[in-house]
A and B are shown apart, each in its own frame.
Chain A
Amino acid sequence: DTGVSQDPRHKITKRGQNVTFRCDPISEHNRLYWYRQTLGQGPEFLTYFQNEAQLEKSRLLSDRFSAERPKGSFSTLEIQRTEQGDSAMYLCASSPQYEQYFGPGTRLTVT
């Protein structure tokens, strides 16, 4: 199966710590997206890459959040100085055109 993969699947961290998540997209997709989902809500857009270029960032993405996609392959999402409000499911998706294909997500719990 060559779908989107994310690592880790679960992360528990203490408030104030930094965390980093990884996403490996479907290999032939040049677009990669990050979303965040909280309970009872749909996924909310965070940021988007086309190849290695970060083309769009949401207002939701505070200065504590940074994302990279070196060489246009895998991507990382880092959250610095985590807060309890950062607890959510972080979803990565890749796309050839309109349809986006999601990974299983990383569940972050900030204690």
Chain B
Amino acid sequence: DQQVKQNSPSLSVQEGRISILNCDYTNSMFDYFLWYKKYPAEGPTFLISISSIKDKNEDGRFTVFLNKSAKHLSLHIVPSQPGDSAVYFCAGAETSGSRLTFGEGTQLTVNP
């Protein structure tokens, strides 16, 4: 039962352009969503989150959008930089402090 799905295993964009990473979920009990970035041989690094009562949250170059009716969220990175090249995971949580359920990840490559 894949509760969180990231359907694009990889994405390649040019430096300076927008990167859009997508995530779909099936669990209606998710109350909070998070995005993580992961470099090889390191643990995931928290990027940005959004509560289910909001539809947008912005932090610098990163913006997360939530469409609850479609059970879809997306992460926008603009402008994209080569240092953004990493695997990006979205995750859902049912309550504060509960387990995170992750998607499979999307490998983002930003070309100079």
Q: Main SS of chain B's interface residues?
A: strand
Residue from B34, B41, B44 within 8 A of A98 (CB atoms): B34
Tell yes or no: B45 within 8 A of A by CB: yes
Within 8 A of B (CB), among A57-111: 58, 91, 93, 95, 97-105, 107
Inter-chain residue pair count (beta carbon < 8 A): 63
Interface size for A (C-beta < 8 A) is 28
- Contact (Cβ within 8 A) B43 A102: yes
CB nearest to A41 among chain B residues: B104
Q: Which residue of B lies closest to A104 (CB)?
A: B43
**Which of A6, A45, A91 is close to B101, meaning CB atoms less than 8 Å apart?**
A45
Cβ distance A12 to chain B, nearest Cβ, rounded Å: 15
Q: Let me know if B99 and A48 touch, CB within 8 A.
A: yes
A42 to B105, Cβ gap below 8 A? yes
Interface residues of B (CB under 8 A from A): 4, 32, 34, 36, 41-46, 49, 89, 91, 93, 96-105
